[in-house]
A and B are shown apart, each in its own frame.
Chain A
């Protein structure tokens, strides 16, 4: 039944996709579909765990105990999100340890946004508001992704992330209504995080390489530029509420279209950071590799202990 079963499987794959159904782990699927998903889910997971660093840096320095608790819970959530996503990748037949090795050896990427430094407390607000805001715009459509385990992981992630964005906005709102120094800190953070946030949606549609096939497979639902526009439309009025200036002289509202017009980000910078030349690429990866290597003896010990206990049980 093997070759017949395979062909039938592929037919049913396409039929499921066409009917906007969900593909599940043991279904037959084209190699390209599997590979695309593994890469995308793994890189998404890597982004979650590397993303713990720029914010984790500030847990020890958070300026109030309430903020400290919120930030700890948030960074902890990111570890949880990484876990959900690695688990989703594993349903496609890869191992978390192997996928982590690909991150550690630089063969797989993570979101470039996390290669920018967090310089002041206001950056923690900006990350929550802008970076998590952009992530949510990217992720909400993924809750309807054609691959079941990824879609389910994203439902969980999105549910938990809504507090992340709000706490970021709240940090900035408090700063903007605080002392002049605090407000300046908030503006400075927006100035530095605005363009990198816009670049989180990837290269412009005219230059995007993976988009078409991913759209056909129901992995991607909207183009990079569509999502970027959605983010700008959502965010600019929020900046007005904060009383902050979006650092784009070309920004204007197009009444007729009902959209904000904005300047094109400098994508050469994006490509540079992706290539490894961002301000923090080296540190982020080195920190991650160190945590992993420092933990090796712990993981080995736990495995050795489990083995000993299993032997004892078998002997008893």
Chain B
């Protein structure tokens, strides 16, 4: 394979984080950025682009999903809905 694969992240507007939109092939980061501009923001979908070489991404394995993600499941106290707010209290 001549051209590496790049994952593309686009910030659709100020105030939002970059979101993964897809991928493309390019010989280097400079061209990846330019190609991403042409391919993924033809309709003004973005104000900022990140390109990341796909091979540089370390991903969690689906096999590990139990030990990775289940332990967070019982920590309900992290969510605001866990707490009771007396009636009539606002702005909390």
Residue among B21, B22, B28 with max Cβ neighbours from chain A (10 Å): B22
**Which chain B residues border A84 with CB–CB below 8 Å?**
22
Q: Which of A22-30, A171-179, A241-249, A284-292 contacts B (4 or more CB under 8 A)?
A: A22-30
For the complex, is B31 an interface residue (Cβ under 8 Å from A)?
Answer: yes
Output the nearest chain B residue to A80 by Cβ-Cβ distance: B39
Contact of B28 among A26, A90, A309 (CB under 8 A): A309
Q: Return the CB mask of A1-19 against B: 1 if under 8 Å, else 0.
A: 1000100110000000000
Query: B27 near A9 (CB under 8 angstroms)?
Result: no
User: Taking A1-B63, A5-B63 as contacts, is the C-beta distance between A306 and B27 under 8 angstroms?
Assistant: yes
21 residue pairs from A and B, CB less than 8 Å apart: A9-B62, A9-B63, A26-B61, A26-B62, A77-B42, A83-B24, A84-B22, A87-B5, A87-B22, A87-B23, A95-B1, A156-B21, A156-B22, A300-B2, A302-B2, A302-B27, A302-B31, A303-B2, A305-B28, A309-B28, A310-B28
Q: Is the interface of A mostly helix, strand, loop or mixed?
A: helix
Task: Tell me, in angstroms, the Cα distance from A1 to B28 when the chains sit together.
Answer: 38
Task: Tell me, in angstroms, the Cα distance from A76 to B42 when the chains sit together.
Answer: 10
We find that the number of chain A residues with CB closer than 8 angstroms to chain B is 30
**Which chain B residues border A309 with CB–CB below 8 Å?**
28
Query: B28 near A306 (CB under 8 angstroms)?
Result: yes
Residues of B within 8 A of A (CB): 1-3, 5, 21-25, 27-28, 31, 39, 42-43, 59, 61-63
For the complex, is A153 an interface residue (Cβ under 8 Å from B)?
Answer: yes
Task: Tell me, in angstroms, the Cα distance from A275 to B31 when the chains sit together.
Answer: 39
**Which chain A residues border B42 with CB–CB below 8 Å?**
76-77, 80
Query: B62 near A299 (CB under 8 angstroms)?
Result: no
**Which chain B residues border A156 with CB–CB below 8 Å?**
21-22
**Which chain B residues border A80 with CB–CB below 8 Å?**
39, 42
Task: Tell me, in angstroms, the Cα distance from A54 to B43 when the chains sit together.
Answer: 24
Shortest beta-carbon distance from B18 to chain A in Å: 16
Query: B62 near A96 (CB under 8 angstroms)?
Result: no
Q: A302-B3, A303-B3, A305-B27 given. 13 additional CB < 8 A pairs? A: A9-B63, A27-B62, A77-B42, A87-B5, A87-B22, A90-B5, A90-B23, A97-B2, A156-B22, A160-B43, A299-B27, A302-B2, A306-B27
